[in-house]
A and B are shown apart, each in its own frame.
Chain A
Amino acid sequence: MSISVNEASDIQREISERSAPDYLDQLEAEAIYIMREVAGQFERPALLFSGGKDSITLVHLAKKAFAPGKIPFPLVHVDTGHNFIEAIEYRDELAEKINAKLIVRYVEDTIKAKGLKEQTGKNASRNWLQTFTLLDTIEEFEFDACIGGARRDEEKARAKERIFSFRDEFGQWDPKRQRPELWNLFNGRIQKGENVRVFPISNWTELDVWAYLKREGIALPSIYFAHERELILRDGKLLNNTPVIEPDPEDQIVTRQVRFRTVGDMTCTAAVESSAATLDEVIAEITISRISERGETRIDDQQTEAAMEDRKKGGYF
């Protein structure tokens, strides 16, 4: 029914005498507000941090929200063992630099402890299995809120999810029973054992994240920028050449100049051919790209029309 209008950068024609905040300021203020609601409403929140650009943005926002104090919650990473080494190194360095508590739990351990069966064959991934580790971690530390970097523009199920997304004691999302979310009044009341997933950058687009990283001068893992790499060419997609990807007879090994537009597991994240070596060049490429972020790089979403919706119903973030 309705369209909400966000101000763009050209606001010179605005009647308001006060210098108007631009849309990045507005998005930033909203995200900080949400972070503070988490700190104010929950006893044991955590920030899910992977070393990818969206969660890097979250950490930066959390720093701003609670300055000059420390971020009042730990950073949590569910490590599938299939992550890019550059992202893992970045994760550890950042946590140390800002003196944050970093909790890492490994999917490998969950697989062993629970005797879980891994996918096998072409395009096998631990994407689904990380849900088990995440839920165990939530239980172990009794987290009542987990802040994540999901954005509504990424994917159609995410476009439907609340900013404070209630999960039952099994971590499940029920899209038909979402709490009404009105104004900026976030309802984080839960029973023991339940939790809330919170998405402070819900309203950011991919381009907003890049523009913000640039404006704030935030460093990123090197894989986001063009570099030469040995890759597996499979079904038109370029995957990192790594032993964690099960080989397929049709695979071709190639060397290309690429960058990663998103950073997930190596098994399901494809690279894009690019010569963009700086933030400005990356932003320029994304601006003219005619393919969406997940469409270009995520193999996990393309398996069925409702792949993300189904994963979320099972407790994925």
Chain B
Amino acid sequence: MDDGKSTLIGRLLYDTKNILADQMEAIERASKTRNAGEIDLALLTDGLRSEREQGITIDVAYKYFQTPNRKFISIDAPGHIQYTRNMVTGASNADLAIILVDARHGVVEQTRRHSLIASMLGIPHVIVAVNKMDLVGNSEDAFLEIAKSYKELAEKLSIKDLTIIPVSALNGDNIVDRSESMSWYTGETLLSVLENVNVLKDQNQEDGRFAVQYVIRPQTEELHDYRGYAGRVQSGTFKKGDAIKVLPSERESKIAKIEFGGNEIQEASVLQSVTILLEDDIDISRGDTIVTVDNSPIVSQDIEALVCWMDDKKTLKPGNKYVLQHGTARSRCSIRDIEYQIDINSYEKLDEVEALKLNDVARIVLRTAQPIAYDPYQKNRANGAAILIDETSNVTVGACMIE
């Protein structure tokens, strides 16, 4: 279905002057060989030969653009149901989602599906762009009707911040510039929302979590006893002197020093890649998590999670074994139960499901070989996410949001 997604991204880039002359020429050239009509801005993001041939987005494409106020990474993900796993992939790192609704058709199955994914993946901000307004005579009534039915839909989901905007990606209405043909609309343009949304506030600043990636041991003469734990602060803050606990071993110590690039820093906050040195010489290796002592995650071998199944060859069934990767930890795990499947179009819960196929979403119960130190995904995205890996093919087959 062509809902104009790639055209919208193309329009955003074009109107913010982020398309360069040679790229524009390439698009013009390619447009001419495909259709006699206008320049096809979608050709900007459809990067693979097969995508250009079929005129659809198959895989996630990343585009980079900036305005005087902000830098953006746009992730263009395919909308068709057969590419749900690609959409989940794109959504997993997003701070904000734009969901396109065709003004002629209103809220449809695809809208429901995209919204569920945005909500399930915990994307903090959602913009619903009611597109192709020009094809419904730029009617305010048509827009309000769609906005109303979308809000009803959103009530069933957990969308923290919702904005609904009438746009025409083709004509550039309310994308970067205000629409003259929809003077009744007094809200923000799409770009204005993008520029002003506060994404730092969305980071979890409370739970101190640090997954150890690598142990730095120079073993030189002057650094003979140096042991630094390299990792990225997943959430919260760590300071010199903080009492910490190592999980799953539960050993406690204090932070002796925090370093960045070999230089001492006083504190490390969320998303910073640093090296932590402890006062005590305790056994820590990759896969361990350092947490602040007064705020612990759950440590358990029994996990319940929403899973989006991504393998197109094999199904997920109770009894199957996989490798669970959570943070830097990997553990074998076994599927205990499929509690229920969620119909991603109707949101209906389906009981007594025996196996999950590609793109199915379900709540599952699994047991890991080693304890995992996790937080619920909706509270802490970084420490509540996990992937399932097929032990024989090594392919990533499942996206887990731990509940």
Contacts and interface: CB of A to CB of B under 8 A. Distances in A.
B22 interface: yes
Contact of B200 (A20, A39, A181): A20
A152 B328 contact: no
A291 B75 contact: no
B64 A36 contact: no
Contacts of A181: 89, 396
A157 B58 CA distance: 13
Interface string A12-29: 001110101101011011
A159 B47 contact: yes
A306 B47 CA distance: 8
Interface in A265-317: 289-292, 295-296, 305-306, 309
B122 to A, nearest CB: 11
Interface stretch (A76-84, A108-116, A186-194, A248-256): A186-194
Contacts of A183: 92-93, 381-382, 385, 387
Nearest to A216: B261
Interface stretch (B66-74, B137-145, B174-182, B364-372): B66-74
B85 A2 contact: no
B123 A187 contact: no
Contact of A1 (B59, B99, B223): B99
A7 B88 contact: no
A3 B262 contact: no
A10 B85 CA distance: 35
Contacts of B72: 3-6
A64 B273 CA distance: 10
B218 interface: yes
Contacts of B50: 175-176
Interface residues of A, number: 68
Given A3-B98, A295-B22, A160 B61 contact: yes
Contact of B60 (A11, A21, A23, A160): A160
Given A3-B96, A3-B194, A180 B22 contact: no
Contacts of A156: 47-48, 61
A40 B214 contact: yes
B245 interface: no
- A36, A190, A292 — which one has the most chain B CB atoms within 10 A of its CB? A36
B395 interface: yes
Nearest to B325: A185
Contacts of A10: 69-70
Given A180-B399, A182-B92, A4 B74 contact: yes
Contact of B87 (A1, A23, A160, A306): A1
A203 interface: yes
A291 B21 contact: yes
Contacts of B228: 68-69
Q: Which of B61, B91, B97, B387 has the most CB of A within 10 A?
A: B387
Classify the interface of chain B: helix, strand, loop or mixed.
mixed
Contact of B199 (A5, A21, A159): A5
Interface in A205-240: 205
Contacts of B332: none
A185 B211 CA distance: 12
Interface in A58-89: 63-70
A181 B91 CA distance: 11
Contacts of B272: 21, 25, 29
A187 B387 contact: yes
Contacts, number: 239
B95 to A, nearest CB: 5
A152 B97 contact: no
B323 interface: yes
Contacts of A39: 213-214
A182 B200 contact: no
A182 B382 CA distance: 11
B95 A160 contact: no
Contact of B394 (A33, A69, A180, A191): A191
B218 A5 contact: no
Given A69-B218, A180-B399, A2 B22 contact: no
Interface string B128-157: 000000000000000000000000000000
A7 B396 contact: no
A32 interface: yes
B92 A16 contact: no
Interface in A146-161: 152-153, 156-157, 159-160
Identify the interface centre among A2, A21, A176, A179: most chain B CB within 10 Å of its CB. Answer: A2
A14 B75 CA distance: 24
A175 B47 CA distance: 10
A37 interface: yes
Contacts of A157: 47-48
Contacts of A292: 20, 22-23
A8 B64 CA distance: 12
The 3 nearest A-B residue pairs measured at CB: A67-B262, A295-B22, A156-B47
16 contacts: A1-B5, A2-B91, A4-B94, A16-B201, A29-B272, A30-B271, A30-B273, A40-B328, A66-B216, A69-B226, A157-B47, A159-B47, A176-B50, A190-B394, A203-B64, A295-B26
Given A5-B194, A39-B213, 15 more contacts: A1-B79, A1-B97, A15-B201, A20-B200, A32-B232, A36-B273, A64-B260, A66-B214, A68-B218, A156-B48, A160-B61, A175-B50, A202-B62, A290-B20, A305-B52
